[in-house]
């Protein structure tokens, strides 16, 4: 727990913080450390936009309540016009807008610092959103004390945080091909399709959207099961009933940020 203690000591220097809180494994550990470091001088803030998974918002509420942290939710009613056509710098544009809202909330509360859950591994993928965080002086304590994703999970397990083995769920916009117009009905189809696949036992899953073709990614060890005739027929029927025109399986399996491979 030496690494966790360093994290707590690092946050103690900040006096009071707003934690950008998704309910995922990284931001939950940051929120727990902030609570241990600063007590009641912590606010968890969740943004609820059309491109967020509705069930994750519910989980975020439950986790913040269990940790005993004040939790606020800000609703974004519409998809931002800057990202509606899903440009390659979408993540930058989105993060800049979202975290400006979080910074404004912190300022209104008299809180100087905003924290997020970026970890020491996040520089390994194409993540233009990190540039926006730096421009807005958002602090990433996991990155500052060099805690990797594996260490986040290990420490979270020792702390008995329920998120320790929660699969990574990147922003749902990462499922849509760059240059394809973002439509809320597509976002909900993707969400429902992934929930279905998780419900039949695929814990790591992505549905990547190309036009109206659904490209399914599951963990490599789950590919054989997905490709059994009984399962793939069920999945094909279910996803087509949600409105996808075509359904295919990516034979490379799940990999982080696979839509970035074209960039």
Q: Which residues are catalytic?
A: 171
Q: If residue 18 lies in a helix (H) or strand (E), which one and from where to where?
A: strand 17-20
> Does residue 25 contact residue 163 with C-beta atoms inside 8 Å?
yes
Residues 6 or more apart whose CB falls under 8 angstroms from that of 78 comprise 50
Strand partners of residue 190: none
Query: CB neighbours of 137 closer than 8 A, spacing ≥ 6?
Result: 114
State which H helix or E strand residue 93 sits in: helix 90-108
Contacts of 18 (CB under 8 A, 6+ apart): 42, 43, 44, 45, 102, 105, 106, 109, 111, 113, 114, 115
Give the contacts of 34 (CB within 8 A, at least 6 positions apart): 11, 17, 19, 42, 69, 115
């Amino acid at each position: 727990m030496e690494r966790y203690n360093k994290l707590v000591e690092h946050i103690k220097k900040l006096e009071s913080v707003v934690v950008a809180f998704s309910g995922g494994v990284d931001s939950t550990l940051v929120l727990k450390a902030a609570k241990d470091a600063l007590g009641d001088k912590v606010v968890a803030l969740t943004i609820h936009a059309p491109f967020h998974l509705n069930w994750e918002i519910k989980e975020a509420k439950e986790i913040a309540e269990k940790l005993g942290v004040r939790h606020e939710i800000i609703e974004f009613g519409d998809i931002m016009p800057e990202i509606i056509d899903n440009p390659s710098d979408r993540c930058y544009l989105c993060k800049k807008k979202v975290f400006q809202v979080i910074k404004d909330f912190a300022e209104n509360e008299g809180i100087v610092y905003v924290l997020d859950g970026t970890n020491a591994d996040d520089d390994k993928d194409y993540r233009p959103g990190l540039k926006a965080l730096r421009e807005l002086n958002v602090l990433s304590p996991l990155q500052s004390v060099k805690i990797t994703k594996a260490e986040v999970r290990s420490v979270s397990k020792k702390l008995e945080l329920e998120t320790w083995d929660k699969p990574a769920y990147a922003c749902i916009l990462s499922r849509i091909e760059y240059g394809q117009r973002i439509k809320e009905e597509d976002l909900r189809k993707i969400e429902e399709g992934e929930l279905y696949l998780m419900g039949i036992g695929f814990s790591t899953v992505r549905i990547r959207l190309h036009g109206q073709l659904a490209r399914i990614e599951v963990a490599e060890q789950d590919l054989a099961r997905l490709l059994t005739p009984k399962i793939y027929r069920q999945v094909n029927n279910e996803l087509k009933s949600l409105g996808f025109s075509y359904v295919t399986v990516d034979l490379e399996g799940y990999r982080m940020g696979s839509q970035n491979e074209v960039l």
